[in-house]
Structure formats: C-alpha cells, structure tokens
Chain A
Amino acid sequence: MIEVENVEKSYGSLRALQGVSLRIAPGETFGLLGLNGAGKSTLSRILMGLLRADQGRVSVLGIDPARDPVAVRAKLGYLAEESVLYDELTAREHLELVAALRGVPRDQARARSDRLLEFLDLAVAADRATGGYSRGMRRKTAIACALVGDPEAVLLDEPTDGLDPDGARRFAEVLAELKRRGKAIIVASHILPLIERRCDRVGILDRGKVVAQGTLAELRAQANEPEADLERLFLVLTKREEKDARGLLE
C-alpha cells in the first residue's frame, strides 16, 4: 500500500504540492495525470525519499521515505523522468550494476537481465555503450533498470517518453505482467491515452493540487460529462479552455 496524506511541498515561494492525498493498493495501476510542472515529479521524488515533504504523511509499503529512504528504495522500482544512464556503460552493464546494488543474486540477475533485454528488443545492442543509443533505446534501458530488482511496487515517471509504437506496446505488456504479479504501480504522465487505457484509477494533479481522483466512470460523474474521454475530462476538471493558435506566427 502506498499512502500520501495532505502532503505539502514548496520551493521558495512556489507551492509545488498543496494538500495532496492519494492511496494506491497492491495490484492497482494508478495514473497520475498532470501537465508539465503540475507536481508529478516532485511527488515521485518524495515517494522515493529523494525529497522531503514540508508537511503531511507519506508511507510506502509501510515505510516512511523521509525516515528510511534506503529501505523504501529497496522495495520501490523507480523510472525517472529523464533516462539517466552512463554513456560509457552498456545496457547489460547497467542492469548488472543495478542488480548488484539491489542485492539480486548474480545468476538470477543475469537471467532476468537477459529476459528483459530480449523482451524490450535490446538484446542485439545490449553490449554496446548506451551513449550511442537512440532516445527510445535509452528509455527501454531505463525501464529495464527499474524492473531488474523485481521491486514490490514501481513508480514510473513518463515511461513512454521517446518510445516508438512497438516499444510502447511492449511497455504495455510489461505493465500487465507487473499487475498480474500484484505490484502497486504508479504511472505519472501527461500522455492521456496511456493513462486512460492502462490505469485502474486516475488522479489529476493541477498546479500542485489533486483536483480529482477515481476510476474513469467516477471522473465522468465528477465532471458531469458521462460520455467524455480523458482529454475532455482533464480540460473540464482542471478548468482549462481550448486555445486557438491562428495568427500565432504572424
């Protein structure tokens, strides 16, 4: 169970999170939807113990990340917004490194790495330095790094960023497998179709506040738009208007 209660976080005068409350059960896929700068990455970093909340309570699988960040990181796999990789290391070396730091036995790590690389279509390039990888290949390597430790829960920040259609399809299969294995999954993204298709519940984060959360049906009820898709719901619930770009470049 991942619980966030009334969390506040400010950077100087900027209030990045304001009274955010969420609850994600094991086996649930939770979509955290918000525009750039809405506070998704700040919340992700608080869950990982990389930042401390100014106020509120956070519990990740029964552990307070501010008190014991290392214990939280041992249970939670994290895919950062940017695919942070060492350009000089290969994809396989990255997986070996992450597995070693997560305490995965060497044989198990090797077998799991091979399976991940194969499934994500990285096997051919696995022994080449990631500095020469395309953006999609880097993203797949980062996804594999988040999963190689077989964590109890995963936190994926903009997971499909840079993936081609085939990569996105494979990632969707990975999500399904994680769900089958009963893991709590948080997908932070602004890609509406991904959230709409793959998540059990959705939380809409806007300017640091959760403006709505629930299943798609519950969001439609909140917005009073029974037929709306997630894009329409997002605009209604965040009170945003569609804009016209005509004349922009005159």
Chain B
Amino acid sequence: MRAALRLRARVLARRHLNPLDALLALGTVALAWVAGKQIGGSPALVANVALALLVAASAGLAHNLLYRARELTLLLAQPISARELVAVRFVELSAYGLVAGSVLAALVGGTGGGRGAPLAALALAPLLAATGLLVAWALRRWIGLALALPLVALAARSSAGPGELVLRLVRLEGGWPLVGASVLAAALALVLVPIGHGEAVNALAGRPTRRPILGFPRFLIPLPRTAAALVRRDFVLILRGAFPRGALVLLSLPLGLAVYGEAAKDRTLEGWQQELAALMTLGVLATVASFLFSIDFPRVRAPKQALERALPVRGGSVLVARTFEAAVPGVALALALATIAASGTNDAAERSTDIAIAGSLLALFCAHHGACYGLTTETQGPQAELAVSAGFPIASGTLVVLASLLLTIHPLTALVYPLTYGRLSGQAARIWERAEA
C-alpha cells in the first residue's frame, strides 16, 4: 500500500505541484471570499448547496478513481487489497478535498468573519473525500444521480444541517460536530467502500462506451470552416470534460465581476474612474480566459499534438480559432460588467455603453494577444512551461493597463492596438506552422 501511495503521490505531484495550479487554487479561494461578501440571504443555505455540489463532484471523481481509472489495470494487478486501494483513494481525494474545502470555507468566511476558515478547510477535506467515496460506492452504476444532490439542497432551501455547522466552525462559534462527522464518515468509507469492489469494477468494465450527450452546433461559430472546426472541437472537448480545471475556472470567472460590483456602488468615484475600474477588472478576467484557451488547454491537449500537426492547418486558422474562443467569454463578461454599471451609481450608469464597447474591444485584444503568445511559445517544450506561464501575465498585464487607460480616454484609441500588436499575427502563425513537433 505504501508503494501505491508513493506512486499516486508522485503522479499527483507531477500533475498539480506547479506554480500555475497553485495560482489557480489561491485565485479561486480569493474569488470565493469576494463572492461570499456579495451573498445576501442565508449564508448557511449557500453553504448547504455549495457543500452538496462539492460532494457530488467528489463522488464523480471517486467513482472514476475506484472503478474506471486507467491505472487500475496497473494497481489491481499488484497484491493490493480493495481496502488498501480505498485507503489510497481516500488520501488522494482528501488532497483534492483540502483545496475544495478551502474554497468553501473562504466562501462562507466572506459572509462575515472567517477566523476558523483554515480549521474548517482541514475538517472538510476528509469529509468531502469520505462522502464522495460513500456516494460513489452506494450509486456505483448510477453515479449520474449524484448530480441530484445540489438540486435537492437547493430545493430544500434549508439553513439547517451541515451548512450551518460549516458556518459556525468558520466563525469559530461552535460547529465541532462537523469534525466528528468527518471522522465518522472517514471510518464508514474505509469499512464500507471496499465491499463488492471487485464485482463493481468487473460490472463497469463491461459497460459499452457511451454515445456522447453534449455537442456544439456548427452554426453558432461564425468563422471560416477550418477555424470553425477547431473551435467546435475545443468547445465539444470542454463540454465533455477534457479540460475540467479550465472549465471550472471559466465557470468561476463571473465571480470576478463582484469586484467591480463594489466600485459601481461607490459614489466617490467619477465616471472615468468607474470605467477604468471596469476595464481593469475585465482585463484581468479576459487575460485568464485567454490564458486558458491559448496556453493551458493546448498544453493539456499536447499529447494529441501529432493529430493536429499532421494536418494541413495554417497558423492563421489556429490564431483565429483561439482568438474567437477566448473572446467569447471575454465579450460576455464585458457586457455583464456594462449591465452591472448600468445598475450602479449615476456616474457608472452613464458610462455603461462606453464600458460595453471599450470592454468588448479590450476582451478582443486580450484574446488576440494571448493567441499570438500561445502560438509563439507552444512548441518550446515542457522545460519552458514555467517561463512561458510566468511571462504571460507580465506581457498581458502591460497590454491591459495601457489599453484600459487609452480606451478610458476614447474608444477610438483602440486603433493603436492593430498598429502596435497587429504584426504579431503573421509572426506567430509562421512560427507555429514551422515549429518542430
């Protein structure tokens, strides 16, 4: 069992112990804290729903780790018992649970007072792991039903239950039963989940591959055929779970709008300051979107590079595709920011149209800049990953600050972008086409 634990620890460390993942985890925790501050109504109800959501996610992950993961072929061929395998998975899931628990504790802590947030995160980690294992074990062949958990929590609209305990523990106002529940759930999982493991693996192995449910209609991508085909591939892959980390970050990007929500209500800020705040906020979010589509997702897809590279795809088409992909969430966020501005103070409301136009332009610039950066650096290999990731915020940050300032002065200053950054397109496309793979 120790060998299996060491093996899995090494795999997980290689996969997740990098500055990018650390930044994403810390960023999500910070965003959750900010989002917590925006919560009206009952924080305990929000905690209940969020907890149910995390348990469902943990169950999905546990199901895969217990019954479907490819490395099971290697692990189960060794003299390792079902009980030991479950223990290994419990440790793995607890590591993920620590991150998820930190996000939940931050969300709840943001609602007011979070001195106990680190303690709550520590208590939630094994709880999420154990409940995930138990749900995965109980549902086995019907794991899709785990998705009903957050819906049930939402429908119940109850402030009592585990959410209330999380809230109390985060505020250090009690909530100690949560720690007890965590220990109990762990013990139950370690005893119950190994039961019938072999039969379940056998039954699930015989299950035929499924017809995918989610697709992406071609008519929604108004691009030339080659670029449209690349965009459709990426959107379909994301919808079907090929890029879970990226999908999670994309889904959490709207939380960043909460940062501007405060500025829009601030009566001490003048109109131009409101617009600058909106554009700076958008710049950060659009940069994240562009990073995901132009650097991170291509990196995740790198093992499949031979397929794409062996096809007659011009660098220009890839550039157009990636710019479009990142511009879609960027422009959507710009319009959402303009809507927030419209409902803010008079000065912010007056500037909402300017924010919509300038924000959309800024999102487009960030998307294009990220796509050029990604194409230029994509084939530099794993040894350059850190340098590429670290260089991007600096390059993109410069663009965001300068473009936000100029666009605040007048939208027509957008013309400066093609004059200064336009030539990057041709260069990036050529580098990508000719790069060795």
Q: Which residues of A contact B (CB under 8 A)?
A: 45, 48, 50-52, 69-71, 73-74, 78, 80, 82, 84-90, 93, 96-98, 100-103, 125, 127-133, 145
- B209–A84 contact, CB under 8 A? no
Most buried by A among B209, B236, B305: B209
In the A-B complex, the 4 residue pairs with the closest CB atoms: A132-B209, A100-B229, A74-B312, A88-B240
CA distance in complex: A82, B310 (Å): 13
Decide yes or no: A103 and B225 within 8 Å by CB, A80-B306, A93-B236 being known contacts.
yes
- A97–B233 contact, CB under 8 A? yes
Closest to B209 in A: A132
B232-287 residues with Cβ-Cβ distance < 8 A to A are 232-233, 236-237, 240-242
Q: Contact partner of B211 among A70, A96, A103, A127, CB < 8 A?
A: A127
- Please, which residues of chain B bring their CB within 8 A of the CB of A88? 212, 236-237, 240-242
Asked if B313 lies at the interface with its beta carbon under 8 angstroms from chain A, I say: yes
CA distance in complex: A185, B305 (Å): 23
- B312–A73 contact, CB under 8 A? yes
- A84–B307 contact, CB under 8 A? yes
- A71–B312 contact, CB under 8 A? yes
- B209–A52 contact, CB under 8 A? no
CA distance in complex: A128, B309 (Å): 24
Asked if B16 lies at the interface with its beta carbon under 8 angstroms from chain A, I say: no
- Please, which residues of chain B bring their CB within 8 A of the CB of A74? 312
14 A-B pairs in the complex with CB atoms less than 8 angstroms apart:
A69-B434, A70-B312, A70-B433, A73-B313, A85-B307, A86-B237, A89-B237, A90-B211, A97-B232, A97-B233, A102-B312, A103-B225, A125-B209, A128-B210
CA distance in complex: A132, B240 (Å): 14
- Please, which residues of chain A bring their CB within 8 A of the CB of B212? 88-90, 128-129
- A101–B236 contact, CB under 8 A? no
Contacts A70-B312, A128-B208 given; 6 further ones with Cβ under 8 A? A84-B307, A86-B233, A86-B242, A89-B237, A93-B236, A101-B313
Q: How large is the interface on B (under 10, 10 to 19, 20 to 34, 35 or more residues)?
A: 20 to 34
- A50–B310 contact, CB under 8 A? yes
Decide yes or no: A85 and B304 within 8 Å by CB, A70-B313, A70-B433, A98-B311 being known contacts.
yes
Closest to A49 in B: B434
Mask of B210-234 contacts with A, CB within 8 angstroms, 1/0 = 1110000000000001101110110
- A129–B303 contact, CB under 8 A? no
Asked if B436 lies at the interface with its beta carbon under 8 angstroms from chain A, I say: yes
CA distance in complex: A103, B301 (Å): 23
- Please, which residues of chain A bring their CB within 8 A of the CB of B232? 97
Asked if B437 lies at the interface with its beta carbon under 8 angstroms from chain A, I say: yes
CA distance in complex: A98, B306 (Å): 13
- B313–A100 contact, CB under 8 A? no
Q: Contact partner of B229 among A48, A69, A71, A97, CB < 8 A?
A: A97
- Please, which residues of chain B bring their CB within 8 A of the CB of A85? 304, 307
- Please, which residues of chain A bring their CB within 8 A of the CB of B6? none
- A89–B233 contact, CB under 8 A? yes
Q: Contact partner of A87 among B226, B236, B242, CB < 8 A?
A: B242
- Please, which residues of chain B bring their CB within 8 A of the CB of A130? 209
CA distance in complex: A128, B213 (Å): 10
Asked if B115 lies at the interface with its beta carbon under 8 angstroms from chain A, I say: no
Asked if B314 lies at the interface with its beta carbon under 8 angstroms from chain A, I say: yes
Closest to B207 in A: A132
- B210–A129 contact, CB under 8 A? yes
CA distance in complex: A55, B291 (Å): 37
Most buried by A among B303, B304, B311: B311
Decide yes or no: A132 and B210 within 8 Å by CB, A50-B309, A84-B304, A86-B237 being known contacts.
yes
- Please, which residues of chain A bring their CB within 8 A of the CB of B241? 88
- Please, which residues of chain A bring their CB within 8 A of the CB of B228? 100
- Please, which residues of chain B bring their CB within 8 A of the CB of A78? 310
Closest to A93 in B: B236
Q: How far is the CB of B337 from chain A (nearest CB, A)?
A: 32
CA distance in complex: A96, B225 (Å): 11
CA distance in complex: A166, B342 (Å): 66
- Please, which residues of chain B bring their CB within 8 A of the CB of A97? 229, 232-233
Q: Contact partner of B310 among A80, A87, A127, CB < 8 A?
A: A80
- Please, which residues of chain B bring their CB within 8 A of the CB of A93? 236
CA distance in complex: A93, B241 (Å): 16
Q: How far is the CB of A161 from chain B (nearest CB, A)?
A: 14
Q: How far is the CB of B69 from chain A (nearest CB, A)?
A: 12
Q: How far is the CB of A66 from chain B (nearest CB, A)?
A: 8
Most buried by A among B208, B310, B434: B310
Q: Contact partner of A51 among B242, B311, B314, B436, CB < 8 A?
A: B436
